Structure 1
Amino acid sequence: MFGNQVKAQALHRGKPLAMSDAAQEAFEKLIDPSAAIKLERAALVMRIETAVNQLSADQLLAYNRAELEVLVQQLTDDMTGVGPIQPLVDDSSISDILVNGPDQVYIERHGQLSKVDVSFRDEQHLLNIAQRIVNAVGRRLDESTPLVDARLADGSRVNIIAPPLSLNGVCISIRKFPERKFDLMGMAKIGSLTEEMAQLLTMTAQARLNVLVSGGTGAGKTTLLNAMSAPISEAERIITIEDAAELSLSQPHWIQLETRTASSEGTGAVTIRDLVKNALRMRPDRIILGEVRGAEAFDMLQAMNTGHDGSLCTLHANSPHDALLRLENMLMMGAEKIPSHVLRQQISAAIDIVVQLERSHDGKRRVTAISAVGECVDGEIALSPLFEYHLSTSSEGEYHKGALPSVLVERARHFDLHESMQALFEGAK
Structure 2
Amino acid sequence: MAAADPVERFRLSDQYQTLKSSVHRHLIAQIEDRKLDIYTWSAEKVERFVAEQVRRYVLEQRLPVNQRESEALIEDARNELLGFGPIQSLVDDDTVNDIVVNGPNNVFIERAGRLYSAPVRFNDDNHVIRVIQRILAPLGRRVDESTPMVDARLPDGSRVNAIIPPIALDGPCLSIRKFRKIPLTAEDLLKGGSITEQEIAYLRHRVENRANLIVVGGTGSGKTTFLNMLSSWIPPGERIVTVEDAAELRLRHNHVVRLETRPPNLEGQRAISARDLVRNALRMRPDRIIVGEVRGDEVLDMLQAMNTGHDGSMTTLHANNVRDAMHRIELLAGFAGYTGGELTLRGQIAAAIQLLVHVARLPSGQRRVLSITELRGIQGRELSMHDVFRYEPDVGGAAAPREAA
Do the structures match in fold with TM over 0.5?
A: yes
Match 2:26 to one of 23, 42, 66: 23
Does the 8 Å CA contact 1:286/1:311 hold for their aligned counterparts? yes
1:123 corresponding residue in structure 2: 125
Does the 8 Å CA contact 2:391/2:399 hold for their aligned counterparts? yes
1:189 corresponding residue in structure 2: 191
2:158 corresponding residue in structure 1: 156
Relative distance call for 1:126 and 1:192 in structure 2 (3 A) is same
1:304 positional shift? 1.2
For residues 279-329 of structure 1, what are the alpha-carbon distances to aligned partners after superposition, in whole Å with 9 as ceiling and x for unaligned?
222222222111111111111111111121111111110111111111111
2:333 corresponding residue in structure 1: 331
For residues 124-170 of structure 1, what are the alpha-carbon distances to aligned partners after superposition, in whole Å with 9 as ceiling and x for unaligned?
11111112223333332222322222233433222222222211211
Q: How many residue pairs end up in the alignment?
A: 396
1:80 positional shift? 3.4
Measure the CA separation in 2 of the matches of 1:91 and 1:83. Answer: 14
Measure the CA separation in 2 of the matches of 1:254 and 1:8. Answer: 48
Does the 8 Å CA contact 2:24/2:77 hold for their aligned counterparts? no
1:334 positional shift? 1.8
Does the 8 Å CA contact 2:8/2:119 hold for their aligned counterparts? no
1:36 corresponding residue in structure 2: 38
Measure the CA separation in 1 of the matches of 2:328 and 2:294. Answer: 10
Relative distance call for 1:348 and 1:36 in structure 2 (3 A) is farther
Q: Which runs of 5+ in 2 are unaligned?
A: none
Measure the CA separation in 1 of the matches of 2:277 and 2:9. Answer: 46
Instruction: Single out whichever of 165-174 and 99-108 deviates more from structure 2.
Output: 165-174
Measure the CA separation in 2 of the matches of 1:258 and 1:125. Answer: 31
Q: Amino acid of the residue matched to residue 350 of structure 2?
A: S
Q: Which runs of 5+ in 1 are unaligned?
A: 1-5, 403-428
1:341 positional shift? 1.9
Q: Amino acid of the residue matched to residue 47 of structure 2?
A: V
Asked if 1:358 corresponds to 2:360, the answer is yes
Does the 8 Å CA contact 1:238/1:254 hold for their aligned counterparts? yes
Measure the CA separation in 2 of the matches of 1:138 and 1:196. Answer: 46
Instruction: Single out whichever of 133-142 and 304-313 deviates more from structure 2.
Output: 133-142
1:285 corresponding residue in structure 2: 287
* Percent identity of equivalent pairs: 41
Relative distance call for 1:25 and 1:185 in structure 2 (3 A) is closer
1:243 corresponding residue in structure 2: 245
- Corresponding residue SS for 1:257: strand
Measure the CA separation in 2 of the matches of 1:149 and 1:131. Answer: 13
1:17-166 mapped onto 2 (5 Å cutoff): 17-19=20-22, 23=26, 26-30=29-33, 35-37=37-39, 39-52=41-54, 59=60, 62=63, 64=65, 66-166=68-168
Match 2:265 to one of 263, 267, 288: 263
TM-score, scaled relative to structure 2? 0.88
1:415 corresponding residue in structure 2: none
Does the 8 Å CA contact 1:96/1:173 hold for their aligned counterparts? yes
Does the 8 Å CA contact 2:113/2:367 hold for their aligned counterparts? no
Match 1:176 to one of 175, 178, 201: 178
1:22 positional shift? 6.2
1:342 corresponding residue in structure 2: 344
- Corresponding residue SS for 1:121: coil
